[in-house]
Amino acid sequence: MNGAPSEPSTLVICCGAIANEIVSIVRENGWENIKIECLPAKLHNEPDALPEKVRAKIRAGRQRGDEVVVLYSDCGTGGGMERVLREEGVENIGGSHCYEIFTGAEQFAQLMRDEPGTFFVTDFLARHFEKLVFKGLGLDRFPKLRNTYLGHYRKMVYLVQQDNPETLKRARAAAASVGLELEIRPTGFGGYRKFLKTR
């Protein structure tokens, strides 16, 4: 991807939860031929539906003549995403989820060996934790549900993509709101940058 205007457009399909990171990678490399389309992050709550939503995006992009790149991992689809991407002939970035792509597979595996009871948040989830998790699970109305949902977690690991004092503040508030110790691990854009640069 060298950004030459004469090149065919490349459509990057990704989750809304990593949209800011993908936009930043594209901008820093000056890839003017890249278009980014996101599916809503809330589709992670419907993993059975997610692969077909991605398929529809792939086919719409190809009808316009775009080259298509998909930046979804399995994302809880139980192999459904890999199957769709294989059927559509689209290379898969791999991995189980964005946490693994941000940290790298080996480091993520080590994190899980060190403490299986880890709740991971990214920049996106830190910013939206109150809405998506705290209120989304009803913990604001029913605090006793905390142990039901989060009782097996021992700490929260904040995977930092971009340094931002406000996002860090939100991550600290998120950990405090559910009674978890916060650990901060800078990751940058991890495997997403590498994958796009090798296309």
> For every residue of 53-97, which 3-state class applies, written as one string?
HHHHHHHHHHHCCCEEEECCCCCCCCCHHHHHHHHHCCCECCCCC
CATH number of 10-96: 3.40.50.510
Rounded CA separation 32/180 (Å): 42
pLDDT single digits (tens) 103-125:
999 999 999 999 999 999 999 99
Instruction: Give domain limits for the chain.
Output: 10-96, 102-186
CA distances from 193 to 93, 111, 129, 154, 189 (A): 11, 21, 25, 30, 6
pLDDT band at residue 140 using 50, 70 and 90 as cut-offs = very high
What pLDDT shows up at residue 6?
53
For 184, list phi and psi in degrees, rounded to 5: -110, 125
Rounded to two decimals, what is the model's pTM? 0.90
